[in-house]
């Protein structure tokens, strides 16, 4: 890990690391973000690994320009108005993923939606522009610790798990962005933040309430159990039974799909959601058998997701 002051040189170095699939921590106006290329599943898997999160939750994707959003998500008039009014700034919009969205399904934790914002910080902006990639960037701290508002906090919390920290001084806001869900007719605040519901309603009209809307959720954990595959999942399966698809891990001849033939957990995490989706096909299979996944490192989050998907539906 190295810490470099923000400069043309460190930004160019950061952009190179990001395009190569590495992780760069950078300042935004809210907190320091742990950035990875959102279009590379293994870079996104490294983010979860570095933070040590025991489960996958969807990450916010950062863009340099409003025009980048159209390549990732379906936009509408509400989005256009909010971006015009509040971007760059601490407002995250959850939109429907485009069918050909280039971002890894891991940034969406397997959902059909993607959360996007344009940060209001010159260093973040330049890094995004220089890398030319949408960057997944949750707060740059280990899971369960305080959000970092200075480069030293990132270094203390993540150490060598991040390839480069770009030091741009203290963050201005220190509070995380407001998250608004625009995937449904009623816009709903998913996470309160610096920009208030009243300010948002003044731009797009009355908001729905999270309580009144059964398809919204309060925490990513609740959310994950909502989106289980349609077919039953059988975990820790050495082989498939008749009629089952087999989702393999490690060297095996009989996998319908293999999360990682070389038993690499990072690769498995990057493949998890797309492969579960691909095998969730009732016209071909009656169920999905999943190979045992080691419960170490990011394997913990993979197993958490599989267990949720296998849990009885209510
Ligand atoms: P963080 O990046 O850790 O500051 O937090 C990301 C926040 O955005 C969490 O509250 C997530 O639940 C929320 N979020 C990110 N992506 C989505 C999505 N696709 N749908 C709903 N909420 C999301
Ligand atoms: Mg955080």
Q: What is the CATH number of the domain that holds 124?
A: 3.90.870.10
Site to probe by mutation for ligand 1, drawn from 32, 72, 92 as the one with most ligand atoms within 8 Å of Cβ, is 92
Q: Are residues 166 and 262 in the same domain?
A: no
Mean pLDDT, rounded, for 80-100: 98
Distance (Å) from CA 94 to ligand 1 centroid: 8
Closest CA to 38 of 65, 72, 3: 72
For ligand 1, what atom is nearest to the CA of residue 181? 21
Among all bound ligands, the one having the nearest atom to the CA of 223 is 1
Contact 272, 41 (CB under 8 A): no
Residue from 179, 189, 216, 227 whose mutation best tests the ligand 1 pocket (most atoms within 8 A of CB): 179
**Residue 241 CA to ligand 1 centre (angstroms):** 37
> Which of these three, 161, 183, 204, is where a domain ends?
204
**103 located within any domain:** yes
User: Helices 265-279 and 299-310: crossing angle, nearest 10°?
Assistant: 20
From the alpha carbon of 109, which atom of ligand 1 is closest? Answer: 19
| Co-location of 184 and 279 in the same domain | no
Residue percentage of the chain with pLDDT more than 70: 94
The answer to whether 84 and 69 have CB atoms below 8 angstroms apart is no
Return the ligand number nearest the Cα of 106: 1
* Residue 9 and residue 62 in one domain: yes
The residue whose CA is least distant from atom 1 of ligand 1 is 138
Residue at 217 is within a domain: no
Whether the CA torsion 272, 273, 279, 280 is positive or negative: it is: positive
pLDDT at 215 over 70: no
* CA of 31 relative to ligand 2 center, distance in Å: 9
What would the pLDDT profile of 98-117 be if each residue is shown by its tens digit?
999 999 999 999 999 999 99
Residue 216 pLDDT exceeds 60: no
Same-domain check for residues 37 and 158:
yes
Q: Does residue 253 lie within any of the structural domains?
A: yes
Please classify residue 202 by burial: count the beta carbons closer than 10 Å to its beta carbon, then call 0-12 exposed, 13-18 middle and 19+ buried: exposed
Nearest one of 225, 253, 228 to 239, comparing CA atoms: 253
Residues 78 and 14 in one domain: yes
Q: What is the pLDDT of residue 144?
A: 86
pLDDT value at 287 more than 60: yes
Same structural domain for residues 14 and 63?
A: yes
- pTM score of the predicted model: 0.92
Determine the atom of ligand 1 nearest the C-alpha atom of 107. Answer: 16
Task: State the Cα–Cα distance between residues 151 and 140, nearest whole angstrom.
Answer: 9
**Domain tally for the chain?**
2
- 147 CA distance to ligand 2 middle (Å): 6
Predicted local distance difference test score (pLDDT) of residue 221: 42
pLDDT band at 220 (very low <50, low <70, confident <90, very high): very low
**Inside any domain, residue 214:** no
Residues 186 and 251 in one domain: no
Residue 222: pLDDT band (50, 70, 90) is very low
| Cα 94 to the center of its chain, rounded Å | 12
Q: Are residues 185 and 263 part of one domain? A: no
- Residue 269 shares a structural domain with residue 167: no
State residue 314's pLDDT score: 58
Residues 200 and 270 placed together within one structural domain of the fold = no
Q: Give which of 266, 259, 269, 264 is closest to 302, Cα–Cα.
A: 269
Q: pLDDT tens digits, residue range 14-39?
A: 999 999 999 999 999 999 999 999 99
On the question of pLDDT at 217 being above 60, the answer is no
Same domain, 251 and 131: no
Length of the chain: 314
Determine, yes or no, domain membership for 45: yes
Q: Are residues 160 and 244 in the same domain?
A: no
**113: in domain:** yes
**Which of 167, 183, 204 corresponds to the end of one domain?**
204
Q: 90 near 189, Cβ under 8 Å?
A: no
Is the residue at 50 inside a domain?
Answer: yes
Q: Of the residues 29, 32, 56, 94, which should be mutated to test ligand 1's pocket, given the most ligand atoms within 8 Å of the CB?
A: 94
Q: What is the pLDDT of residue 131?
A: 98
| Strand ranges inside the chain, DSSP E | 2-5, 24-27, 32-37, 60-62, 73-74, 91-97, 113-117, 135-136, 164-167, 178-181, 188-191, 233-234, 244-248, 257-258, 287-290
Within-domain flag for 64 = yes
Find the 62 Cα to ligand 2 centroid distance in Å. Answer: 15
Lining ligand 1 with CB less than 6 A are: 57-60, 92, 94, 108, 111, 113-115, 138-139, 176, 179, 190-191, 220
The ligand with the least distance to the CA atom of 55 is 1
Query: Which residue range forms the structural domain that includes residue 239?
Result: 233-310
- Out of 155, 189, 204, a domain closes at 204
% the chain with pLDDT above 90:
86
Pocket test for ligand 1, best of 182, 184, 191, 219 (most atoms within 8 A of CB): 191
CA distances from 182 to 43, 106, 208 (A): 27, 20, 10
* Atom of ligand 1 minimally distant from the CA of 183: 20
- pLDDT-derived band at 225 (thresholds 50, 70, 90) equals very low
Query: Is the bond into 88 cis (omega within 30 degrees of 0)?
Result: yes
């Amino acid at each position: 890990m190295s810490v470099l002051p923000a400069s043309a040189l460190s930004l160019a170095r950061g952009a190179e690391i990001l395009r190569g699939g590495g992780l760069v921590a950078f300042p935004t106006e809210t907190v320091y973000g742990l950035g990875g290329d959102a279009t590379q599943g293994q870079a996104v898997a490294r983010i979860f690994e570095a933070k040590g999160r025991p489960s996958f939750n969807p990450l916010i994707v950062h863009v340099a320009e409003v025009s980048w959003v159209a390549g990732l998500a379906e936009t509408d008039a509400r989005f256009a108005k909010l971006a015009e009014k509040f971007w760059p700034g601490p407002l995250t919009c959850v939109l429907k993923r485009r069918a050909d969205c280039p971002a890894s399904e891991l940034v969406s934790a397997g959902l059909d939606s993607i959360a996007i914002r344009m940060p209001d910080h010159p260093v973040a902006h330049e890094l995004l522009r220089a890398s030319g990639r949408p960057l997944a960037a949750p707060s740059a701290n280990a899971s369960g610790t305080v959000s970092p508002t200075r480069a030293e906090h990132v270094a203390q919390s993540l150490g060598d798990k991040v390839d480069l920290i770009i030091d741009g001084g203290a963050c201005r806001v220190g509070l995380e962005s407001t998250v608004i869900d625009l995937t449904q007719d009623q816009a709903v605040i998913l996470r309160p933040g610096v920009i208030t519901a009243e300010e948002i309603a003044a731009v797009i009209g009355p908001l729905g309430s999270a309580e009144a809307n059964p398809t919204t959720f309060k925490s990513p954990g609740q959310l994950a159990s909502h989106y289980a595959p349609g077919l039953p999942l059988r975990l820790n399966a050495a082989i498939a039974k008749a009629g089952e698809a087999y989702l393999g891990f490690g060297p095996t001849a009989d996998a319908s799909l293999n999360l990682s033939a070389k038993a690499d957990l990072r690769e498995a995490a990057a493949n998890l959601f797309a492969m579960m989706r691909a095998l969730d096909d009732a016209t071909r299979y009656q169920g999905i058998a999943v190979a045992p996944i080691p419960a170490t490192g990011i394997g913990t989050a993979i197993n958490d997701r599989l267990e949720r998907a296998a849990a009885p539906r209510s």
